[in-house]
């Protein structure tokens, strides 16, 4: 690869962003190939993460609406200070956009972090949490349906989702394929139709198995 071309890429992407792909002092071609490979893996994870997050929040919303008997469960349940703050922030964002506050808009505005917080030990004494576990994850084996296990799973998904959303490195994770498989399994626990859709959209295994070599060839062909 022409040194001048890599320097141009480094200048626009910044040394600090590319430095994580150069920890073992690879040549410029390998560093850029790793970066491109990471982009492709993030792209391949996007559809599954999207389906998971939408299904996750909607399944929990339906369950909590049924539990309370009203759609505005977020105004009724004994949420902690942080949870109430998230609800208030969601409403404020809707108002700032000049839109009326509706149930659907609140649900869409709430972050994944809010939803996963409902399945943590801080709500272990709350009856609504038991209701969630019983009614939202019916396909999950009972032995796996403990708060400790579920919290660990959803925390990892949230971290993966945030890294993909912010274009951060994931190719160095040795358990990335296991996390992808766990993500698919969680979608299955939530809804079978969503799971079948995720399988149709999913391209992760293809790109993960191909590895970095196609991107090395691409870089060599383009700039050598």
User: Could you read off the pLDDT of 168-193 as tens digits, one per residue?
Assistant: 999 999 999 999 999 999 999 999 99
Q: How confident is the model at residue 205 (pLDDT cuts 50, 70, 90)?
A: very high
11-28 per-position pLDDT tens digit: 999 989 999 999 899 988
Q: What is the pTM of this model?
A: 0.93
The rounded distance, in Å, linking the Cα atoms of 170 and 98 is 37
pLDDT at 3 over 70: no
The rounded distance, in Å, linking the Cα atoms of 197 and 139 is 17
CB-CB contact of 212 with 33 (8 Å): yes
Q: Tell me the two tokens of residue 42.
A: 């993030």
Higher model confidence: residue 10 or residue 120?
Answer: 120
Range 89-101 average pLDDT: 96
pLDDT at 2 over 70: no
160: CB partners within 8 A, 6+ apart: 45, 49, 170, 179, 183
pLDDT at 114 over 70: yes
pLDDT of 1: 60
CB-CB contact of 113 with 87 (8 Å): no
Concatenated DSSP letters of the chain: --HHHHHHHHHHH-HHHHHTT-TT---HHHHHHHHHHHHHHHHHHHHHHHHHHHHHHHHHHHHHHHHHTSS-GGGTS---HHHHHHHHHHHHHHHHTT----HHHHHHHS-HHHHHHTTSGGGTT-HHHHHHHHHH-TTS-GGG--HHHHHHHHHHHHHHHHHHHTT---TT-TTHHHHHHHHHHHHHHH-HHHHHHHHHH--HHHHHHH-SHHHHHHHHHHH-
Q: How confident is the model at residue 5 (pLDDT cuts 50, 70, 90)?
A: confident
Q: Tell me the two tokens of residue 192.
A: 């079978």
120: CB partners within 8 A, 6+ apart: 147, 151
Q: How confident is the model at residue 106 (pLDDT cuts 50, 70, 90)?
A: very high
CB-CB contact of 22 with 31 (8 Å): yes
pLDDT of 222: 73
**Mean of the per-residue pLDDT values for the chain?**
94
Range 197-203 average pLDDT: 97
Range 150-160 average pLDDT: 96
pLDDT of 167: 92
Report the Cα 135 to chain-centroid distance in Å. Answer: 22
The rounded distance, in Å, linking the Cα atoms of 109 and 91 is 8
């Amino acid at each position: 690869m022409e040194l001048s071309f890599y320097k141009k890429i480094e200048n626009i992407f910044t040394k600090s962003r590319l430095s994580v792909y150069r920890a073992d002092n690879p040549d410029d071609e390998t560093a850029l190939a790793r970066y491109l490979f990471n982009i492709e893996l993030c792209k391949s994870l996007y559809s599954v993460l999207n389906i998971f997050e939408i299904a996750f929040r909607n399944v929990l919303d339906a369950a909590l609406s049924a539990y309370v008997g009203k759609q505005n469960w977020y105004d009724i349940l004994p949420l902690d200070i942080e949870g109430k703050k998230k609800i208030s922030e969601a409403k404020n964002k809707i108002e700032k956009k000049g839109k009326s506050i509706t149930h659907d808009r609140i649900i869409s505005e709430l972050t994944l972090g809010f939803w996963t917080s409902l399945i943590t030990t801080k709500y272990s004494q709350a009856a609504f949490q038991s209701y969630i576990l019983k009614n939202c994850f019916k396909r999950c084996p009972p032995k796996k349906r403990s708060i400790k296990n579920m919290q660990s799973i959803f925390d990892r998904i949230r971290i993966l989702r945030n890294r993909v959303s912010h274009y951060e490195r994931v190719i160095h994770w040795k358990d990335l394929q296991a996390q992808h498989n766990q993500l698919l399994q969680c979608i299955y626990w939530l809804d079978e139709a969503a799971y079948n859709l995720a399988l149709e959209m999913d391209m992760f295994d293809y790109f993960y198995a191909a590895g970095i070599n196609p991107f090395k060839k691409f870089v060599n062909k383009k700039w050598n």
